[in-house]
Structure 1
């Protein structure tokens, strides 16, 4: 019998409604609409009239919009939307003012004549009641208070043309068609993804009841129970897909690259002028064993900024070269690729001079391949890679070109994997006839549950601790609203570092004045507005425009005129520069020929300048938590203490200030990553969009739902161990196919 959830929506809703849902939300089947879950519920008692609203209490009322206006705030970026509503109560009609901080969507929705359900807490402003950032639900003309008063109201993810209320009506039609909201004996029977024994253990209840309670709960507790059920179901589907891929990977055959007692790695270790940390030794031993195995190593190496991940990866590359293979290191930018080439060549010394005068007995070649290389140098590097003369090949996206060939690619190392799409990573891996080993590095620490979900088919290796001599970094917020005089002090502080023979980074969110910010963080959703700031209610005076964001070009010009920095050598670095000029600027800063480098986030990862001790991040509120943590990791790398100044024009209490305070309060990257994920959400964890934005997860949240994910992972592993092909779990197998689009399925294959 065909699962009724597979029916096309037009069969139940008609062609016109089905077309709207497909165009607006991408929903095509009954099942896809059933899984378009409410994002929240409006809870309330009886609907209230505007007249006599109680202060400091939560209220819910149905009202019509009389007027709507939008204006810029005077002392901060963003806007305020002011809406006046009326309930048109026949006996005691009243009006009420609403204010929305960053209410761009509210301004689009709440135009004069629109009727909506409003829910929020009443407060007083200048003696009059008001609602600040209330929840609202747009209503059709035929919606009444009586329809809404008895149950929690589901609020669906909607669009400008498909309102939550309209979607709710179509969901109700589907539920009725399936008998889900009627007599339980008449309800359709639906095949369940979750095996009965797991459902019983988790107390999930039956599937039909869960659909009813998540879309039409009688009480809010019913909705919470249903959401738990679908969270577990989602986790089980995802973890089973990952477990199946892990099993398939373990069945693949690779060329083992065991460590040799003599050779490059042994000579390298013997020449190291320092002792490896306990973390480096432990992770190195794990990688050594994985590379020696006859199945592909698939590992994620993560650690704090400056923990020594590159050294661990280099030792793995040398082990592979000793065993007759080649290693490719894929870097996200030319600046970072060139720095890797320079630092690895210098670190290896004679070990990187095979066939050259002064080369060691056990030696290899390290070559660089980038898109901007001169043709002659590129041709030599390509020949060295194709012939096997070069044991280590370092490059950017240029390595993915079909012109780049390898003699025997044994290991692919991907630095800062989040900068690459999975298709790009896979392109390099397929260059080998036999699957090469894969080591993915990230300096953005990933909480355990996130790694378990997003990188479920990779072995996660965490490098603990920092190398000896790595100095701590002090981070301070520079709040210009409270202390405008501190702006001058920032540049005096920079001059002090320069006079002491040290160097300074200045990071800007833009390249020039006419460009949009290169790194922004949207915190406008769900922000509560502070009335005390004096921006509500149309206080007299024209709204002042917020100051423009700092740009590299304008900052360089301004610093050249700053008395505190007179005579200081200042350079600029950003993505629009010619690659040769970028390399020359970075080399000059590294040599100490520049004192201050004004840059965009091109210096975010990998750049290593030992004498750089101070970083000034202008408009720091425009960057995310993990990005700020990455940026500040560029200082304090030479044994001298590092300082990071987060300059912001936002006032205390603004959500972005809270984010800056989190960064300033700790250097624990794992704690910051967890906080960052709560703000950004997971992104498209199975597709190519691997950070921020819309999540492919419907209800599951990898931080909040750790217990559910752990249980589902255990259950999924047990299922695959007993039934690798899912022959006895056809519903689960079908759900995996439905849940994962073709791109996501490929992602799992590529891992």
Structure 2
């Protein structure tokens, strides 16, 4: 561990009063102007480039020195704190260079001697040696070891006490010690020293408070300057706890005010295509409802009403449609698209893969029936002579595989403003796609798209209102069965309204999930006997692999939408379950396992098909047909079958190397079975080490079928990402203390406070400190995100 900085005023600190009028605000000053370039360069690597950034580099935790112990009573392995005098010390470079240098010292408390050893960079060890000079008094804390028969402290935390009186020493022992994120070049004590340097120069006028005084009083919060002093230099636990509570509230208020200001600005300056809800009689949506061979569920009706009301509004809809796999999200989205198209508009459904896009087109066509035959002879036959024409709609599919003549025809129809529904992949994002009357964009499995991709369709040149000059913006509906952490974060932060389909569809039965360790060979062999049993009963079996062929270094971009886990492993509840311990074992590949299973004796010669993203559309269609028909009841595939594939006969899902997939992928894969009402099973095969990140991820997967519960677990495991930027997930977060799950109640309270502030002061002209905090916290990427969302 590292020494903590001495307390007390920094020598030569100029103080706030000495700053010249008109100078750059001290919080915005670059750190190289305050601390020197060497320290500033190291702090910049931790994201702190200004004084304000350094103040927001908060301690990870707080240590205490503990009770003083006599050196003579210390035992090996004991955590000890002792006060001693330095007898000797010397720093030297090491021969191996690992570590670069070492400091060796001997200390005594009068009852015996102890060795002290510190390791690190040569410059750092020289600095330590300059502090630990013979005769100096030092406070040491660390774990006692024995080396060559002598007691030793290796890498202890220390504090030189020579210049402190008894009262100061006693206070030091009681004071919490902040521990900062550190590197070899910038240990925690040097971060603390840098923070102390800037704090000693701050005055109240240097730290404008983003939280209005009346709000601070009502919430019982301390002011900003006190918060920074207490969080970095607390006299006791009550101070750092109060400081962190205040800074957490500030984060919530700043973020919520930015979002509230964005919403108010859009409401005042932009108008979405306000497609009025069609009359019940004669509308396309009403005709669709009348043609359905089943009744809508209560949830589908409720969510449909929510969407209808939002589509009838002039405010751009941004709504998340959450529903478990197979809950009827596609039908709900179709009814919304029918409402838009029935009013003369255009609707687009964006899918992540060609397989899913084709499935969606087929599903929509089946649901619409003859209503999807706009401009065809079949549509004209729907209306008897003398009757009001039955409304119909055009239905197009546009992907990268669409033949050029067909593509030109579709693009011409869309550019000409033909009302209809266009289903497509990333091909819809091409600049050549023009949809002047685009009223609704539906994004399926939105976690497969970045924010910029999702917004690309909405930002296409559209219709400008000749009276106001305002450009109409399409409504947005994103659908997912398993919200990713970012989605939950944005939902809690108020960026997306939420509609939930919380009913299991009729006839669906829960899917049992089991974890199978690779090193239990008899268990793995038993998988294929179970698969044969499913096939004998008329079922189908998916086998999913993370690779296409054994030569792949990793999954393809198309098939790996989530970052791969850093660790592998999960075997909870399996006696003796452990990882195979062999990092050389190749990940399962489709080509390899398709060959293996074709000759697997337990399967008795059952047909095996393969499906990957590298195959042509014709090859994919042929594989799916043979699987659906039962000609090849085993389908070995990558995650290309993750979403949208609907084979009611499928009753078993085997996921090989399941620890290589994210929670969202795992849940979606499991959702491919159990769609026909028959009991189904999911087997997750993994090489695992208990306690690894994959252990916890797969444990959560096996424990619940609830998509929201899995998303919350994912949020805990992967963090919320950059809430106001484009990063989708991972440990990069623009939040210092606030966490969307733990602090949901605070966020909701701050949202109401932010709405009240913006309602009274839309431009924040009376809340300049709050406006400055928003500008400081939101980088260019986040500002651009707010502008286009």
**Match of residue 278, structure 2, among 259, 280, 283:** 259
Contact 1:503 1:595 in 2 (8 A): yes
Contact 2:697 2:717 in 1 (8 A): no
**Per-residue Cα deviation, 1:61-107 (whole angstroms, up to 9, x for no partner):** 999999999xxxxxxxxxxxxxx9998666455799xxxxxxxxx99
Contact 2:485 2:721 in 1 (8 A): no
Structure 1 residues 143, 616: closer, same or farther in 2, change over 3 A? farther
What CA distance in whole angstroms lies between the structure 2 residues aligned with 1:60 and 1:548?
49
Question: Which 10-residue stretch deviates more, 115-124 or 253-262?
Answer: 115-124
Helix, strand or coil for the counterpart of 1:177? coil
Q: Is 1:240 paired with 2:257?
A: yes
Helix, strand or coil for the counterpart of 2:457? helix
Question: Which 10-residue stretch deviates more, 569-578 or 447-456?
Answer: 447-456
Helix, strand or coil for the counterpart of 1:460? strand
**Match of residue 552, structure 1, among 590, 593, 597:** 590
Deviation, structure 1 residue 441: 1.5
What CA distance in whole angstroms lies between the structure 2 residues aligned with 1:337 and 1:38?
48
> Which position in structure 2 is the counterpart of 1:220?
237
Contact 1:68 1:107 in 2 (8 A): no
Contact 1:42 1:152 in 2 (8 A): yes
> Which position in structure 2 is the counterpart of 1:486?
523
Q: Is 1:170 paired with 2:187?
A: no
Deviation, structure 1 residue 245: 1.8
Task: Compare CA radii of gyration and give the structure with the larger one.
Answer: 2
Structure 1 residues 645, 416: closer, same or farther in 2, change over 3 A? same
**Match of residue 9, structure 1, among 6, 10, 31:** 31
> Which position in structure 1 is the counterpart of 2:220?
203
**Per-residue Cα deviation, 1:409-449 (whole angstroms, up to 9, x for no partner):** 11111112222222222221122221111112122147999
> Which position in structure 2 is the counterpart of 1:388?
417
Structure 1 residues 143, 33: closer, same or farther in 2, change over 3 A? farther
Contact 1:308 1:466 in 2 (8 A): no
> Which position in structure 2 is the counterpart of 1:300?
320
Question: Which 10-residue stretch deviates more, 32-41 or 574-583?
Answer: 574-583
Deviation, structure 1 residue 337: 1.2
What CA distance in whole angstroms lies between the structure 1 residues aligned with 2:80 and 2:621?
61
Deviation, structure 1 residue 622: 2.7
Structure 1 residues 19, 513: closer, same or farther in 2, change over 3 A? same
Helix, strand or coil for the counterpart of 1:424? helix
TM-score of the two chains, using structure 1 as the length reference = 0.83
> Which position in structure 2 is the counterpart of 1:429?
458
Helix, strand or coil for the counterpart of 1:340? helix
Helix, strand or coil for the counterpart of 1:13? coil
Contact 1:50 1:94 in 2 (8 A): no
Deviation, structure 1 residue 746: 2.2
Contact 2:485 2:718 in 1 (8 A): no
What CA distance in whole angstroms lies between the structure 2 residues aligned with 1:613 and 1:68?
63
Q: Is 1:495 paired with 2:529?
A: no
What CA distance in whole angstroms lies between the structure 1 residues aligned with 2:39 and 2:699?
48
Question: Which 10-residue stretch deviates more, 495-504 or 622-631?
Answer: 622-631
**Per-residue Cα deviation, 1:352-411 (whole angstroms, up to 9, x for no partner):** 111223224321111111122221221222123223345001111111111111241111
> Which position in structure 1 is the counterpart of 2:771?
733
Deviation, structure 1 residue 488: 0.5
Structure 1 residues 494, 533: closer, same or farther in 2, change over 3 A? closer
**Per-residue Cα deviation, 1:163-190 (whole angstroms, up to 9, x for no partner):** 43332322222122226xxxxxxx6552
Contact 2:539 2:649 in 1 (8 A): yes
Deviation, structure 1 residue 641: 2.3
> Which position in structure 2 is the counterpart of 1:75?
none
Structure 1 residues 49, 407: closer, same or farther in 2, change over 3 A? farther
Contact 1:492 1:564 in 2 (8 A): yes
- Any stretches of 5+ residues in structure 2 without a counterpart? 1-21, 84-88, 97-101, 130-138, 383-389, 464-471
- How large is the Cα RMSD of the aligned pairs? 4.2
What CA distance in whole angstroms lies between the structure 1 residues aligned with 2:31 and 2:430?
44
TM-score of the two chains, using structure 2 as the length reference = 0.79
**Match of residue 413, structure 1, among 442, 455, 459:** 442
Structure 1 residues 691, 19: closer, same or farther in 2, change over 3 A? closer
Structure 1 residues 294, 551: closer, same or farther in 2, change over 3 A? same
Q: Is 1:154 paired with 2:178?
A: yes
> Which position in structure 1 is the counterpart of 2:210?
193
What CA distance in whole angstroms lies between the structure 2 residues aligned with 1:419 and 1:142?
57
> Which position in structure 1 is the counterpart of 2:651?
613
Aligned residues between the structures: 701
Q: Is 1:291 paired with 2:320?
A: no
> Which position in structure 1 is the counterpart of 2:498?
460
What CA distance in whole angstroms lies between the structure 1 residues aligned with 2:510 and 2:311?
34
Deviation, structure 1 residue 306: 2.0
**Match of residue 56, structure 2, among 11, 15, 35:** 35
> Which position in structure 2 is the counterpart of 1:100?
none
Q: Is 1:275 paired with 2:295?
A: yes
> Which position in structure 1 is the counterpart of 2:725?
687
What CA distance in whole angstroms lies between the structure 2 residues aligned with 1:114 and 1:546?
44
Structure 1 residues 505, 88: closer, same or farther in 2, change over 3 A? farther
What CA distance in whole angstroms lies between the structure 1 residues aligned with 2:408 and 2:255?
45
> Which position in structure 1 is the counterpart of 2:134?
none
Structure 1 residues 245, 50: closer, same or farther in 2, change over 3 A? farther
What CA distance in whole angstroms lies between the structure 1 residues aligned with 2:120 and 2:426?
43
**Match of residue 647, structure 1, among 668, 685, 698:** 685
Contact 2:349 2:442 in 1 (8 A): yes
